Structure 1
Amino acid sequence: MSIPSTSPYDAIIVGGSYAGLSAALQLARARRRVLVVDAGQRRNRFASDSHGFLGRDGQDASSIAQAGKADVAAYPNVSWHAGSATNARRDGDGFVVDLDGGTHVQASRLVLATGVRDELPPIAGLAERWGKSVFHCPYCHGYELQQGAIGILAGGDMAFHQAMLLPDWGSVTLFTDGRYAPDAQQRAAMARRGVLAIDDTPVLRIEDHATVVLADGRRLPMAGLFTYGRIHIGSPLAEQLGCAFDDSPIGPFIRTDAGKQTTVPGVFAGGDATRPAGSVAIAVADGAMAGLGAHRSLVFG
């Protein structure tokens, strides 16, 4: 891959993780000039293994991303900027993107694959275990807990959603920690689903592998913990461009249509920034759709 040039690109892709690389591959194979802008901050960089992606189940997460980058790098019509895009704006029929370092690049289409940043519940010891013994997606990490004891650290109302899902993966205890107050109907639903316990005692910290230390002195070892915090879009570009957002219980995400075009014509988006939940498999599919959508819009307008 070459470095950015001042000549206009057919498409600039902001974000070089799973969705961005997948979009780049589609456009590269359509023989379009593509620039990928990537700051190297994959959302799942804290996790060692990736699961649920057909053909790559259980592989190292970083190796999947590296293999994807190698696939894209094989195409001479793809350039790469290892850094950030700081601003984006419409310019006539296309767009101008400002890169860190003061470079300005132009393109007919933009693909935003910026991902999200996770804001976790403020529990001591939780952030250090994120992606290792504390997770948010049971489809990605639940099977490996071998039907052991699973704790849910409530970050808000989404705790009910997790509590209803997770009994398929182990024996579930919900720690409300003052962040979620299930009503009688929800408590009954969780009991029917097989949730082992609902504990309203404040959580002091997480220790060892995944031991929940409570304010009353109890220490409850778990095979793994799940939680939801808040998500924040990983870049201001969508807002700068005027893209519409949809809200979810864990934060806003970029609105796209079936072809992954945002509400701004010519701007496409894919991956975790466009949905309230995701995985590597979903991000790759999203990116492919965004790349195809961008290419078709170049052809058909």
Structure 2
Amino acid sequence: MQYDVIIVGGSYAGMAAALQLARARRRIMVIDAGLRRNRFAEHSHGFLGRDGHAPGAIAEEAKGQLLAYPTVTWTEGKAGKAARTDNGFHIEMEAGESFDARRLILALGVEDLLPDLPGLKERWGKSVFHCPYCHGYELNEGKIGVLAVGSISMHQALMLPDWGSTTFFTNGTFSPDEEQLAQLAARGVAVESTVVAGITGHADVNLADGRTVSLAGLFTAPATRPASPLAGQLGCALEEGPIGPYIRVNDTKETSVSGVFACGDAARAAGSVSLAVGDGAFAGAAAHRSLMFA
């Protein structure tokens, strides 16, 4: 059987895309590897109507609503290969199954490549974060740190004072020039140039000289990359963003490959649950339109 659309990725963007197509009574398949980017966080914030809810609960409720539509098939597993065919596209699963569709939507998500620092990975999504809009408010204007990974960290350091007293740990990865130091001073940001040895406790930054700076939360900007190689296999063009590559799309969320659409974190320079859902809804409607007027 050939599906109208296969959506690779069953998180927020993928399900939002699928919902538009399901409501248009199109035969669709969602392929989900089960690795939501925010799976490490206990609560999701900033998503209208679900502020403060557990991310997993939001996703499960959405999945249940989606599967109520009879034209939706859900397949758990990882898509390993994608290729164009004479009639559309062919997907091969790592487990061996294969499926065909007239259109593809890539809602692949991204992998966060965290700084290699003892204690940081274990606290990711709990007391170490990347998005102040998602997690800053809950720190209750306490002391906040920004762990530098490069020049992109200047942006974070200048943002965070709106959420609390901020210290910028340059950690040997970035040296602000005089103009940047003036900008940081104007925002009230303290600059700490001593190398960070590790993170302990809730969010205690242990410095190489033996000092410890206790924080309500620590922010950093990990590099990202699409969580699947499918876009590259299909020949989709990528853009180089400030923290890593992402899939290039046009105003209708279509990639450089006709018939392949992309949405969510893998198709924008930075993202959130709200942006992923909006992206997905747009991509789903655009894929449907391309089928109507093929």
**Please, what TM-score do these two structures have when normalized by structure 1?**
0.97
Shift of 1:86: 0.4
Distance 1:216 1:20 in 2: 47
Shift of 1:276: 1.9
| SS at structure 2 position matched to 1:148 | strand
Distance 1:220 1:140 in 2: 23
Shift of 1:182: 1.1
Q: CA RMSD of the aligned region, Å?
A: 0.7
| SS at structure 2 position matched to 1:180 | coil
- Asked if residue 275 in structure 1 is aligned to residue 243 in structure 2, the reply is no
One-letter amino acid of the structure 2 residue matched with residue 138 of structure 1? P
| SS at structure 1 position matched to 2:179 | helix
Distance 1:181 1:296 in 2: 49
Q: Which residue of 1 aligns with 2:101?
A: 107
| SS at structure 2 position matched to 1:118 | strand
One-letter amino acid of the structure 1 residue matched with residue 91 of structure 2? V
Shift of 1:249: 2.0
Q: Which residue of 1 aligns with 2:290?
A: 297
Distance 1:116 1:222 in 2: 28
1:182-193 paired onto structure 2 within 5 Å: 182-193=176-187
Shift of 1:92: 1.0
**Corresponding residue to 1:41 among 35, 50, 54:** 35
- Asked if residue 80 in structure 1 is aligned to residue 74 in structure 2, the reply is yes
1:248-270 Cα offsets, whole Å, 9 max, x none, are 12110000111111110000010
**Corresponding residue to 1:287 among 280, 291, 294:** 280
Shift of 1:93: 3.4
Distance 2:269 2:117 in 1: 22
Distance 2:87 2:175 in 1: 51
- Asked if residue 216 in structure 1 is aligned to residue 241 in structure 2, the reply is no
Shift of 1:279: 0.7
Deviation larger for 100-109 or 47-56 = 100-109
Distance 2:123 2:269 in 1: 22
Distance 1:43 1:293 in 2: 24
Q: Which residue of 1 aligns with 2:225?
A: 232
Distance 1:267 1:105 in 2: 15
Distance 1:164 1:219 in 2: 23
Distance 1:283 1:115 in 2: 9
**Corresponding residue to 2:122 among 117, 124, 128:** 128
Please list every run of 5 or more consecutive structure 1 residues that lacks an aligned counterpart in the other structure. 1-6
Count of aligned pairs between the two proteins: 294
1:124-203 paired onto structure 2 within 5 Å: 124-195=118-189, 197-203=190-196
Distance 1:222 1:276 in 2: 28
Residues 178, 200 of structure 1: 8 Å contact kept: yes
Residues 23, 291 of structure 1: 8 Å contact kept: yes
| SS at structure 2 position matched to 1:49 | coil
| SS at structure 2 position matched to 1:105 | strand
Q: Which residue of 2 aligns with 1:3?
A: none
Distance 2:292 2:176 in 1: 52
Q: Which residue of 1 aligns with 2:4?
A: 10
1:93-132 Cα offsets, whole Å, 9 max, x none, are 3000001221111000000001000001111000000000
| SS at structure 1 position matched to 2:39 | helix
Q: Which residue of 1 aligns with 2:92?
A: 98
Residues 54, 281 of structure 1: 8 Å contact kept: yes
Q: Which residue of 2 aligns with 1:20?
A: 14
Shift of 1:32: 0.2
Residues 8, 108 of structure 1: 8 Å contact kept: yes
Q: Which residue of 1 aligns with 2:47?
A: 53
**Please, what TM-score do these two structures have when normalized by structure 2?**
0.99
**Corresponding residue to 1:249 among 231, 234, 242:** 242
Please list every run of 5 or more consecutive structure 2 residues that lacks an aligned counterpart in the other structure. none
